[in-house]
Amino acid sequence: ASYDPETAWTYEAGAKTQWADGRLRLNLAVFYTNFDDLQVEQLDDAGLTLIIDNAASAKIKGVELETVFAPVPAVQLWLSGSYIDSEYEDFIDSSGADLSGNSLARTPEIMLNVGGSFSASVADSLTLRARLEYSWQDEMPWGVENTVYEGSYGLLDARLSLGSRDGRWEAALYGKNLGDELYRVDVIPFLGDVFARYAPPRSYGLQLTTNF
Please tell me the distance from the alpha carbon of residue 177 to that of residue 175, in angstroms, as a whole number.
7
- DSSP-derived 3-state class of residue 31: strand
Q: Which amino acid is at 65?
A: L
Segments of the chain with pLDDT less than 70: 43-48
Q: Is the pTM of this model over 0.85?
A: yes
Please tell me the distance from the alpha carbon of residue 144 to that of residue 40, in angstroms, as a whole number.
8
* pLDDT tens digits, 170-194: 999 999 999 999 999 998 877 778 8
Q: Provide the pLDDT for residue 46.
A: 59
- Other CB atoms within 10 A of residue 35 CB: 23
Q: Which of 35, 47, 39, 41 is nearest to 10 (CA)?
A: 35
Alpha helices, H only, the chain: none
* pLDDT tens digits, 125-154: 999 999 999 999 999 999 888 989 999 999
Please tell me the distance from the alpha carbon of residue 109 to that of residue 61, in angstroms, as a whole number.
10
Beta partners for residue 25, in sequence order: 18, 68
Please tell me the distance from the alpha carbon of residue 30 to that of residue 27, in angstroms, as a whole number.
11
